[in-house]
Structure 1
């Protein structure tokens, strides 16, 4: 049995975003219960040269938004990085999830060998659809989602592995 590009992308992206949203909700509840300024958590980072929590969430959303769009051979819609609260970051996750739910399997299936070229500040990156999904989008999604989780966990938010992985 094989797995399609759609099955390996959009449902996986949606699950990760849902779980990330649950992590954010736990962070917001923690800040409120402990009377912590939410901006402290949103600006927290694991090390000074790393992005803060809020940017980790934005990048995770951008990865899957761009990932699905490029696999479907469309341009990803722009989304400004203006979120300053937990509620705004949760809204961004919801916006991204709605965008992903708009894809049909037929738009993404068959994209395994589709050339994908990304222009970055570090140069041009060339992929096939499959290498883009498995070697770029998914690792970045999980890296930034795990980093967001770890920032909140390090800050004392009571999170468990099930917050990150979700329930089956």
Structure 2
């Protein structure tokens, strides 16, 4: 069995978006147990010149949807960057996950060599589909997922590496 670009993309984006959902749930539970408003985390930052938690989740969501669309030749559903609550962020993650899961493998036919060109700030970037996925889309996506984790951890949410890796019960084996 050969490894397909669809499988790599869909698996990585599904795992990362699911991780974001779990992190949001844990942060909400932590805030509620502490008697604080979980929405206070939405604008929390790791450092003053970095995007807040909402911005990190928005960029991760955009990266996953954009990559799936670019590699499949489709169009990602647009989303506005106006989330101000945990519920809204969780909804964005859920909608992004639904889109990633909706893109059929057949739409990725020829994606490895498909030219991917897009604006990135003042630059225009261009890649083959495979290079785009491996050299830009996945690292960019993971940067925003791990930064969301870091923001929550920095602001007192008790998270560990296993939370980031999102190791479910199906991965745990008896000794």
For this structure pair, what is the TM-score category when the shorter chain's length is used for normalisation?
Answer: over 0.9
> TM-score, normalised on structure 2?
0.91
Unmatched runs of 5 consecutive residues or more in structure 1: none
| 2:51 aligned partner | 51
Counterparts of 2:30 and 2:47, CA distance in 1 = 22
Structure-2 separation of matches of 1:80 and 1:52: 16
Conserved? CA contact 1:6–1:105, under 8 Å: yes
Shift of 1:36: 2.2
2:15 matched residue in structure 1: 15
3-state SS in 2 of match to 1:126 = strand
> Is the contact made by 1:5 and 1:110 (CA closer than 8 Å) also made in structure 2?
no
Report the equivalent of 2:127. Answer: 127
Q: Which residue of 2 is the match for residue 74 of structure 1?
A: 74
Contact 1:4 1:109 in 2 (8 A): no
**Which portions of structure 1, spanning 4 or more consecutive aligned residues, are displaced by more than 6 angstroms?**
none
Partner SS state of residue 25, structure 1 = helix
Distance in 1, Cα, partners of 2:157 & 2:16: 19
> Structure 1, residues 80-135: CA drift from partner, whole Å, max 9, x if none?
01111111111111101111111111111431110011023312111110111011
CA drift of 1:166 comes to 1.3
| Equivalence map 1:17-32=2 (5 Å) | 17-32=17-32
Select between 70-79 and 54-63 the one with higher mean Cα deviation: 70-79
Give the drift of 1:163.
Answer: 1.2
In 2, Cα distance between equivalents of 1:123 and 1:142: 21
Q: In 2, are the aligned partners of 1:44 and 1:151 still within 8 Å (CA)? A: yes
SS in structure 1 of the partner of residue 77 of structure 2: coil
1:147 is the counterpart of 2:147: yes
The alpha carbon displacement at 1:22 in A equals 0.2
TM-score, normalised relative to structure 1: 0.95
The equivalent residue for 2:61 is 61
Gap regions ≥5 residues in structure 2:
none
Summarize the alignment of residues 66-105 of structure 1 with structure 2, pairs less than 5 Å apart: 66-105=66-105
